[in-house]
Structure 1
Amino acid sequence: MSRPGFVLEVDERTPPLLIHQGEGFRLENLPLGSKVIYGPDPLPGIRDVNAAIRHALLHPHGMEPLPELLRPGMKLTIAFDDISLPLPQMQTPDIRQRILEHVLELAARKGVNDVELVAANALHRRMTPSELKRAVGERVFRAFFPEHLRNHDAEDKDNMVHLGKTDHGEDVELNKRAMESDLLVYVNINLTPMSGGPKSVSVGLAGYNSLRHHHNSHVLKHSRSFNDPPNSAMHHSYNRMADLLGGHVKVFTIETSVNSESFPSAMGFLNKREWEWNLKDQASYLAVKRANEMLPTKMRRKVWQSQYAPYKMTGINAGAPSEVHPLTMAKVHEQQRVEVNGQADIGVFGVPFICPYNVNSIMNPILVTSMGLGYQFNMYLNKPIVRQGGVGIFYHPMPNEFHPVHHPSYIDFFEEVLAETTDPAQLEAKYEKQFATDEWYIHLYRNSYAYHGVHPFYMWYWASHAMDHLGDVIFVGADRKTAARLGFRTATTLGDALEMAKHTVGSSPEISYLHMPPLTLADVR
């Protein structure tokens, strides 16, 4: 068994603690008495992954074995999670490749000829041919691309179908090919409790008409947290949509979970607790940090994006989504959950180099906000690690830098929308529809590799709960002008940030540092 997570109280013996800050990291001395929340050690992986896949397909939960669902003349669609999962990207062979090869072999044996593979990218950017090839493997890529392996296109009106409305009036409009198939197989990688289950199809194969119902400032503000689905308004909407689409298509889901081995051996010290670093780890830290600081920005970014994670699979289950997902969630919780007693006055978060929307790209200021105040702040069950009205201290340099191909609407959002207001509800009411229906943004989404025009709004809404909950937000080491545009304050050092926080939480605050990555889910009591 792996060691469970725990909460360390900083004392005189505690070494400096590693904190991520974009494409870099630092060692920081936290004040005495601070709490440091560490996740469990990596779980052991499945020894024979191929055998586990075969077993899952032949012994599914709540459905017939996959071969019994396949027949000649049927229409089969296989959808799979896009490049936003997992993070960092996994070493090859990708688990999607392994599963797809097994499913396609069974389909071929059963004489199924009408097969389409779809990357479930919703309003994310299209995956490039090389990215698709890396995910599905060369054999599948060569056999199906480009005619029968493609990205979902939410703006292809001829290939979207409106299935109806939920009892809450939510439109359910999804990929027509998938919805009209005799069987839809979904291949998932579950990295956090937010993903998988009802989210996979109802989000991954949806368009703006559906997504607007749960990707909005009100729903995200009341998803507390979106990694705690029973308390997430967003997941309540997913569930209603999944119930409706279940009456139109049979879904055979294959869900997987990974352990927390997020960094390769050359950067193995990032997977360890600091007081357990040996001489080799200490030397690696110094060498990597020195080399990292010497590299030009583009080269440094390329190096970080090339750090493929040596994840091991901890779970592979297949069958009916409602029966499979609880099994997946149990494994995710086993890997990430740690109990924390009480909330702090100040929460400390190191924002890393990667988020779901800058793979092979740039983490622009909007994505820094989404990652820090969205994903990381929401890595909790029951209650945030910071009390209502407390202070969030985040580490990231936050340069004013955008990828012009991937994030064109983000640039306009930053320069025009945030110049007028940072209030999620106000900018949603005034500008969202304009960006969502802009013909140029739609053209770039469909024909280039751009995120949909509305996407920066969703990323801003992602931070709605934290913005509503926190009394102050301070970024350590951030570009002052960029942070000011976002409505945040900056500090040069942690000491400066703590001094600034006194005006909100007093001179003797309780401090909690959520030590991640690897991903850690704080169960706050």
Structure 2
Amino acid sequence: MKLEFEYGQGTMSADLPDTADVFIPGITVPDPPCIPEDQLVAATRKSILHPIGMEPLSQLAKKGSKVVIVFPDRVKGGEQPTSHRKISIPIILEELYKAGVGKKDILLICSNGLHRKNTKEEIFNVLGADLFHEFWYSHQIINHDSEDYKHLVDLGTTDRGDPVLMNKYVYDSDVAILIGHTQGNPYGGYSGGYKHCATGITHWRSIASHHIPEVMHRKDFTPVSSHSLMRTKFDEIGQHMEKCMGKKFFCCDAVLDTKSRQIEINSGYAKEMQPISWKTADKRTYVNWAEKKYDVLVFGMPQSFHYGDGMGTNPIMMMQALSAQVIRHKRIMKDNCVILCSSTCNGYFHEELWPYIPELYRMFQKDHMNTLADMSRYAEYFATNQEYIRKYRYGNAFHPFHGFSMMTCGHIAEMNTSAIYIVGAQEPGIARAMGLKTRATFEEALVDAKKKFVGENPNILALPLTFKTAAVHLCMKGEGQ
């Protein structure tokens, strides 16, 4: 069969055996029905007015209350006119104004965490024109800055000993609102809930308690699970924040489908609301579809996706993307599984976004660096590099510790596959330097994989559009999650 897979700005064709299976999220197995557009406002308002496990905003807020509304950055997607941010925030503002809160006492914070700060144009796109014009020019929309120590507060550690530093605007507020997305995520099962505050409004030292090999290379991390140590740490950090603040976060989370449309809206206390959101999200995300385990996974990597332009060509970001597919789909992979992935791999690192990665890449080539995990000893050295921090704070670059999360994740692909072939690399030496094999075409890669790893009649799973859609977590038919 002829299939097209993402490759650079376009696609690359592959002629696969007719016995290959194909899975496309939201198409091969339809998502649960989303809320009709003409019912979205009513459904969101109903959720906000009847929160789970805590008082409604009409009781939490009053005249003079300082309110922060924390919303996800552009990495989490959803920029259509009916996106969750654009529907929920105006309803929340309406309730706050009814309670007597003044507009001047409201601050909107983009929870970019260690991601790059969102630009003015990106804030406009995720919030929409009305919200943007209402709050931007009065300086009431800001990005979180994890290196702005005047506006961070140190809350000590959780009972487990994990450090907790958080945004001081949120800590000092009378009402702290989190707008979140319950969408499948290889890091701890789902975005939203306590993951939102534990990663989006904190500091690299807090994130270094869970985005590290000791947590991400455990057996409870791959395949993805909402019951991993990482997820437990998210919950502990979020609840520690609430304990120190003396208030609960008011969460408003939307369970999203493949096209970032709302399936269900849940609001309230994260500890009680998360399990309810996950119950619905499980139906869309954990897809019990496979009738056999696969020897070969085939997919393509565009140049630009998720974290930004260059992710599909930057070698360390490529490794993270490869591993994300393994984390999601390990349940349906054989132990000797091989990946065939197209990527231009053309030497474009996009140093404006990831200024520290060329240095990381060079270091990985020497000094006894046998696996990406060996790089972790340099984490603090990079995370405290003042030039890289300046670029994060003032140049819309990712924080330097973010690269260590990417490398820790990137090693998971090597841990769980026999081989990974990068197909169509324009600078194949870059791929080989990451421990990957290279071939010019999918057909050549498959011939080599059959000869060396999977035999003449492998079970092949093709995953077109896997980086252009909200992914699922594939499971065996008839098995639990």
When the two structures are superposed, what TM-score results if normalisation uses the length of structure 1? 0.81
| Alignment coverage as a number of residue pairs | 455
Q: 1:327 to 1:422 in 2, by over 3 A?
A: farther
Q: Distance in 1 between matches of 2:278 and 2:310?
A: 28
The correspondence for 1:173, drawn from 152, 162, 165, is 165
Q: Distance in 2 between matches of 1:378 and 1:220?
A: 10
Q: Distance in 2 between matches of 1:403 and 1:360?
A: 6
Pairing 1:144-163 to 2, within 5 Å after superposition: 144-145=135-136, 147-163=139-155
3-state SS in 2 of match to 1:173: strand
Matched, 1:423 2:371: yes
What is residue 409 of structure 2 aligned with on the other side?
462
The correspondence for 1:322, drawn from 271, 276, 283, is 271
Q: Distance in 1 between matches of 2:370 and 2:57?
A: 49
**Residues 415-459 of structure 1: CA distance to partner in whole angstroms, max 9, x if unpaired?**
344455351321111x21111000001111111111112222211
Q: Distance in 2 between matches of 1:18 and 1:324?
A: 40
**Residues 105-162 of structure 1: CA distance to partner in whole angstroms, max 9, x if unpaired?**
2212222232211100111111111111222222322232252210000001121112
Post-superposition shift, 1:488? 0.8
Q: 1:515 to 1:522 in 2, by over 3 A?
A: farther
3-state SS in 2 of match to 1:370: helix
Pairing 1:51-62 to 2, within 5 Å after superposition: 51-62=42-53
3-state SS in 2 of match to 1:413: helix
The answer to whether the Cα contact below 8 Å between 1:255 and 1:318 also exists between their aligned partners in 2 is yes
Identity of aligned residues (%): 27
Q: 1:120 to 1:106 in 2, by over 3 A?
A: same
Name structure 2 gaps, 5 residues minimum.
none
Post-superposition shift, 1:235? 1.2
What is residue 116 of structure 1 aligned with on the other side?
107
What is residue 305 of structure 1 aligned with on the other side?
none
The correspondence for 2:238, drawn from 234, 238, 242, is 242
**Residues 240-289 of structure 1: CA distance to partner in whole angstroms, max 9, x if unpaired?**
2123223133101011133224xxxxxxxxxxxxxxxxxxxxxxxxxxxx
Q: 1:100 to 1:363 in 2, by over 3 A?
A: farther
Name structure 1 gaps, 5 residues minimum.
1-14, 262-310
Pairing 1:91-130 to 2, within 5 Å after superposition: 91-113=80-102, 114-130=105-121
Post-superposition shift, 1:205? 0.7
Q: Distance in 2 between matches of 1:392 and 1:167?
A: 41
Matched, 1:29 2:15: yes
3-state SS in 1 of match to 2:76: coil
3-state SS in 1 of match to 2:106: strand
Higher mean Cα deviation, 477-486 or 39-48? 39-48
Matched, 1:207 2:203: yes
Q: 1:413 to 1:97 in 2, by over 3 A?
A: same
Matched, 1:20 2:17: no
Q: 1:159 to 1:321 in 2, by over 3 A?
A: same
What is residue 252 of structure 2 aligned with on the other side?
254
**Residues 467-521 of structure 1: CA distance to partner in whole angstroms, max 9, x if unpaired?**
2121211111123112012221111122221232232333433323344433232
Matched, 1:228 2:225: yes
Higher mean Cα deviation, 69-78 or 506-515? 506-515
Q: Distance in 2 between matches of 1:335 and 1:212?
A: 30
Post-superposition shift, 1:28? 2.6
**Cα RMSD (Å):** 2.3
The correspondence for 2:433, drawn from 485, 488, 491, is 485
The answer to whether the Cα contact below 8 Å between 1:38 and 1:520 also exists between their aligned partners in 2 is no
Q: Distance in 2 between matches of 1:360 and 1:394?
A: 16
The correspondence for 1:405, drawn from 345, 352, 360, is 352
What is residue 386 of structure 2 aligned with on the other side?
439
The correspondence for 2:443, drawn from 478, 483, 495, is 495
**Residues 2-42 of structure 1: CA distance to partner in whole angstroms, max 9, x if unpaired?**
xxxxxxxxxxxxx4233223432234332243333344224
Matched, 1:85 2:71: no
The answer to whether the Cα contact below 8 Å between 1:254 and 1:317 also exists between their aligned partners in 2 is yes
3-state SS in 2 of match to 1:247: helix
The answer to whether the Cα contact below 8 Å between 1:92 and 1:134 also exists between their aligned partners in 2 is no
Higher mean Cα deviation, 40-49 or 411-420? 411-420
Higher mean Cα deviation, 384-393 or 359-368? 359-368
What is residue 472 of structure 2 aligned with on the other side?
520
Q: Distance in 2 between matches of 1:105 and 1:360?
A: 40
